[in-house]
A and B are shown apart, each in its own frame.
Chain A
Amino acid sequence: MRSLSDESLLAGLASSDPDSSAAFVRRFQGRVFGLAVTILGDPNLAEEVAQETFLRAWRHAATFDAARGRVITWLLAITRNVALDALRLRRQEPVDPSVLIDLRADSRTEPETQGVLADDSERVRQALVRLPEEQRRAVLMSAFFGRTAREIGEIERIPLGTAKTRIRTGLLKLREAFEVSNDR
């Protein structure tokens, strides 16, 4: 099972194959739970969210398109959606986005963060670090915590138009940075 691709395991999960399902959960649980905790800050709620994420992955596996992206990014997008629903329903206070860059810097030396995933995280961190601070904060608040431009404007005490510009400019720059690093 260790040698099977992410896509093969997802196909196994979709067909309710017990071995593939177990391997799929084992392979991604750290990533899924890690993102849920990052967004929610509550490990118990994050476990509920992680379980629901795997359930949705099973339910919607047929919609995964390998041509459009990787299993891990698809799965994390589901995690984000489930976590943001929980955040809203439980009125949980989101974590300060500025800690995200530091968190990543701390965790990258941990032994369990290995190989491709560690490279991915570092690549993202490097791209984010190059953004002006205010754009980075705006993008992180939206990407991780689902903050709207209006909410970011209120938090940062800036006009709505400025918040919108920060989100847009920041994300456009990131897309460019990711495209360049993928071409290398």
Chain B
Amino acid sequence: MTDNHGETRELVAELALDVAAGEERGRALGHLETCRECRALVGGLADAKDEILLLAPEREPSAGFESRTLARLARVARPVVRAPRWRRILSLSVAASIAAAAGVGTVWVATRSDRQAADLLTTALQRADGKYLGVEVLRRPDGTRVGHMAVYLGRPSWIFAIIDDETSVGTFDVEVVDATGARHPAGVLTIDAGGGGGLVLPSGLGRVTAIVLIPRDGGDPLEARLPSG
């Protein structure tokens, strides 16, 4: 148990309501990783928060809502066309290269064989005790592809965004989405004129399902979704 037990007890309700912010949230999440008692308390209070939402009155949406929703689901649920093999290998190489270069802040794309890339990936994960390493497509809300994001989940977790479209260069507030869809502020990322930028994520993020970049200039958010499962 860390020294943050008392501070975390003060913050349990705000953590459960997902309204805690800043450094105190980061410290409390770090404490939760090691304190079963606090974790259970936050879990119980989060359940209470979920119950409160039942208070909202039921209300029917406009006619046709059901069919519009099902049509949208059907569109999204269509099988995804896989990228050409060379591209997948290249993506894997990028991810592995980033892992190897972590801490240096440099991205290099190497032409490696499948096996070499896989070895690099495995070594990188083992060396750093990582849980996940991959490269995901970065998209606007309308599905337009704007680049890639390398994501590493470990100690520490980090991301590196690579933008194809120079109009997306700028400063972004980064949010991490967990399995319930809750968003957690994770810091600020700057993508420079070179088209890339990285950020070390806070600890205690739980199961990450997506990373969202919200432009500070008010443009469309960019999202990279991680594979489920």
Contact = CB atoms under 8 A, between A and B. Distances in A.
Interface of A: 16, 18, 21-22, 25-26, 29-31, 33-35, 37-39, 43, 46-47, 50-51, 54-56, 58-60, 62-63, 68-69, 72-74, 76-82, 84-85, 89, 100-101, 103-104, 106-107, 110, 112-113, 117, 120-121, 124-125, 128, 139-140, 142-144, 146-150, 164, 167-168, 170-172, 174-175, 178
Given A117-B54, A149-B19, 14 more contacts: A16-B74, A35-B53, A37-B59, A54-B69, A60-B179, A72-B54, A74-B180, A77-B49, A104-B57, A110-B57, A113-B58, A144-B56, A167-B17, A175-B48
Interface stretch (B6-14, B88-96, B108-116, B150-158): B6-14
B16 A51 contact: no
A148 to B, nearest CB: 5
Contacts, number: 194
Interface of B: 10-14, 16-21, 44-45, 47-62, 65-66, 68-70, 72-74, 76-77, 179-183, 207, 209, 214, 221, 228-229
Given A60-B209, A81-B180, A54 B55 contact: no
B53 A82 contact: no
B51 A142 contact: no
Contacts of A112: 58, 60
B56 A171 contact: no
A54 B54 CA distance: 17
B48 A164 contact: no
Given A63-B179, A81-B183, A174-B52, A29 B61 contact: yes
B22 to A, nearest CB: 9
Chain A binding surface, main DSSP class: helix
Contacts of A89: 214, 221
B45 A171 contact: yes
A113 to B, nearest CB: 5
A121 B54 CA distance: 5
A168 B20 CA distance: 12
A81 B20 CA distance: 14
Contacts of B181: 56, 60, 77-78, 81-82
Contacts of A68: 47
A50 B65 contact: yes
B13 A73 contact: no
A121 B73 contact: no
Contacts of A146: 17-19
B61 A76 contact: no
21 contacts: A16-B73, A18-B70, A21-B73, A34-B56, A50-B69, A54-B69, A73-B53, A77-B53, A85-B183, A89-B214, A100-B56, A104-B57, A117-B58, A120-B51, A143-B52, A148-B21, A168-B10, A171-B16, A171-B45, A175-B47, A178-B51
